[in-house]
Structure formats: structure tokens, C-alpha cells
Amino acid sequence: MKVKALKGIRDILALESYLWYHIESLCREVFKTYGYHEIRLPIIEATDVFIRSIGETTDIVEKEMYTFQDKGDRSVTLRPEGTASFVRAFVEHHLYTEPLPQKYYYFGPMFRYERPQAGRQRQFYQIGIEALGVKDPKLDAEVISMLKTLFEKIGLKDTIFELTSIGCSQCRPNYGSALKNFLKNRLSLFCEDCQRRYEINPLRILDCKVKPCIEARQGSPSITDFLCSDCSKHFERLRDYLNLLKIPYTLNPNLVRGLDYYTKTAFEVTSESLGAQNAVAAGGRYDGLVEEFGGPPTPGIGFAIGVERIASLIKNSFTGQECHDLFICPLGHEASDKTLIFAEELRAKGLWVETGYEGASLRSQMRRANRIGARYVIVIGEDEIKKGEVKLKDMIGKYETTVDMDKICETLIKKLS
């Protein structure tokens, strides 16, 4: 049987996993300092969870969801993003009855049936955060600042924070009318999807990736010119806070998010070092989403980071691959038995130990020690067992020291620290 991973879906092999682990650890570290807790959400949900929140006329819902009937004939979907699942869980477990604000983070795979290309997979990983219960734009500024701090720790350079406000259910209808007015005479230039969306959700036309549509909507009005006084004040105060924190950003009134649940603040972080798919993270406010899921009015804000995109940006400068502390080469049957016990003792004390197996020559064992990047190597043969001492070989310094076998552990711990 010859089988391959599905198109747009890839394996993360051991070497790359170290890089991912490094990114995840830094996220946990930074999120913790801002009071975020981990939440683990399911990968599969009832399809309605996504239709209702992401929006029926979005590309994600119309074209990209992995949706199928399960054996109980229920429509289920592999999650295309985390926010909808998170809010579903927040309402389902009545978390709103506990003190607000509440702050959470999550890691995991998302699924979108998009056309695969560099930086765009069908299964991709996100690290996301969500914070619920605060209207104050100070939280928006804090969330953006946390993302900036994280990117600095990760060592991302050349990132641009693009920011806008996309209003609320009060001001958006006025903007929708102005947009329809602008599009009315050029509607024939748009694709079929856009023509359909014109009536039901004209703002979605701004997110269409079809080239003639992008050209035909040039010069369309901006939502930021139509904000109600509440949204406008919120946006102004957010910008004041960002200035206070000295966070540089670019105003982009044309920033369009591919999800319908956003209100007020929306942002995207792009990197010039990526190709066409240049967004490394994106997010915004969703003040109406908890209510949409049947909970009480509860404002929310969050973002998600694309792990593959971050990993591709830092992989060349990453040197943090961990390696074995010690490789033991046994020579002969007795040494092999001795090594089995000795290695277990050292592992119990926390050392990362690998051994050669019986029958392998010293040369092939040394080759393996080199290949796995062992930091130290010892050879145990008849002589070493008789004398109770071994030569500890430093694989970086390329020198040897003679050490009592029962002192190996403390010697290594001292050297490695």
C-alpha cells in the first residue's frame, strides 16, 4: 500500500517539532504574565457552531469547511478556527457566571479547504487567545501589546501591526448602504458570489480574492468614516493607549477580516519576509458573539497566530534543538547488561541518555552518537568495568576526562548546568 498525506496537510517531523515547542513555550510564558489560562477545545463541532458565528456568506463557511454527516447523520465540521468553539464552550459551561474578565489561550490544528500554497495549508496550527468581559479599549491595547511582546521574544523582525475599527451593529448598516451605493453601477464587473453577496452581506465583497473584484472595488468608501460616536471614541482611546505604550502601528481602513463576528477593533500583523500569505497573526473584538450563542451580553477580544508562518520566519536562526546528555557505548555482553542498568539509573536522575545496542561496533555507535548530537559519550568495556572508571568524552570540546563510574551522574549534572 502506497499512501501519502493529503494535499495541503503535512507532518511535523522531530526536528521541526523542537522549533514548534520553542514557540509554544514562549507563548505560554508570555500569556501567563498577562493572566491567561489554557483551555483545550475539541477539533470537531456541530456545523452550526461555525455557520452562526463566522457568517453564512463568508468564504470560510461557503467554500472552505470540512463538513460531513457523521454516522448518526448529524452535520459536523472540523474547526476552521478557534473563536467560535471557545465561545460555544464559554456559554455551554456558564463560565459567564464566574468573575469577569476571563482570559484563555489555546493551541491546535484548524482545517480550511483552501487552495494550498506556500504559507497556506488545509490543516494548519494556530495559537490563539480570547479575553472576555471588558469593553474598555485598554484591554485591546493590552492584547496588542502582548502580541508585540511575544513577537519580540520569538525574535520576529519586520512585522507591521495594521489596525482599523469596523464599527458595530449601529454604524455598519449606514456603511453598508454607502457601500452598496458605490457598488451599484459597477456590479456587473464583480464575480457571481459578490453579486449574490451584494444583497445579503455587501461588506463581504470587500474580502473577495478574485482579481477583477479587487480592481472593481477600488475607491470604495471606508468604514472608519461611518463609525458611530461609541465606536469612534473606542477607536480614538485605543490609539491613545497604543501611543502611550509606544507601539507603532499602521492605520489600514481597508483591512477586511474573513469572519463576520468582529466589531470595533480589528487588526492583522503582517511580515514583509513572507510571500503572498503574509499575515502572521490577526484578531479583533467580537462584542456580540457570546449573545449570539445564547449567553448574556459579554464583550470579547482575541487573536490567533499562524504557527507554520512564524516557524518559517525563524527557522534559520533557531539553534535550540535539544540533544542527548550522554551516549553510552557498551562493548561486549557484560558491558551491555551493565549499560542497561546504568542508563536507567542516570535517566531516573533526570539525564537524557541513549545507549548503543549489542552487536554494534564501536565505530557505528560513535557515528550514531554524533548523528543524534550527544553532548558526552562514554565507552564501557571489560576494562572499564574492572577499574570502575570511564573516559568521559566531551563531543564539543573534543577532550576526555577520566571519571569514576559512580560519579558520572554528579559530574554530568555539574557540567551540563
Q: Return residues touching ligand HAM (CB under 6 A).
A: 81-83, 112, 114, 120-121, 124, 126, 128, 130, 258, 279-284, 302-304, 306, 308-309
Q: How far is the CB of 306 from ligand HAM (least distance, A)?
A: 2
Nearer to ligand HAM, 268 or 325 (CB): 268
Q: How far is the CB of 155 from ligand HAM (least distance, A)?
A: 17
Q: What is the DSSP string of 300-354?
A: EEEEEEEHHHHHHHHGGG-------SEEEEE-SHHHHHHHHHHHHHHHHTT--EE
Distance between CA atoms of residues 293 and 54, nearest Å: 12
Q: Are strands 300-306 and 326-330 parallel, antiparallel or unpaired?
A: unpaired
Nearer to ligand HAM, 108 or 221 (CB): 108
| 91 in Cβ contact with 295 (< 8 Å) | yes
Q: How far is the CB of 220 from ligand HAM (least distance, A)?
A: 21
Q: In the complex, which residue's CB is closest to ligand HAM?
A: 306
Buried b (16+ CB within 10 A) or exposed e, 160-177: ebbbbbbbbeebbeebbe
Q: How far is the CB of 114 from ligand HAM (least distance, A)?
A: 5
Nearer to ligand HAM, 277 or 321 (CB): 277
Nearer to ligand HAM, 284 or 330 (CB): 284
Q: How far is the CB of 167 from ligand HAM (least distance, A)?
A: 16
CB-count exposure of residue 154 (10 Å: 0-12, 13-18, 19+)? buried
Distance of CA 230 to the CA centre of its chain: 32
Nearer to ligand HAM, 130 or 384 (CB): 130
CB neighbourhood size of 14 (10 A): 7
CB neighbourhood size of 53 (10 A): 23
Distance between CA atoms of residues 281 and 270, nearest Å: 7
Q: What is the DSSP string of 156-187?
A: --SEEEEEEE---TTTHHHHHHHHHHHHGGGG
Q: How far is the CB of 107 from ligand HAM (least distance, A)?
A: 12
Nearer to ligand HAM, 77 or 83 (CB): 83
Q: How far is the CB of 366 from ligand HAM (least distance, A)?
A: 41
CB-count exposure of residue 357 (10 Å: 0-12, 13-18, 19+)? exposed
Q: How far is the CB of 156 from ligand HAM (least distance, A)?
A: 12
- Locus of grid cell 502601528: 249
Nearer to ligand HAM, 147 or 353 (CB): 147
CB neighbourhood size of 363 (10 A): 9
List, in sequence order, every residue forming a beta bridge with 354; answer none if it has no partner: 327
Q: How far is the CB of 279 from ligand HAM (least distance, A)?
A: 4
Nearer to ligand HAM, 116 or 381 (CB): 116
- Residues near 177 by beta carbon (within 8 Å), at least 6 away in sequence: none
Nearer to ligand HAM, 104 or 342 (CB): 104
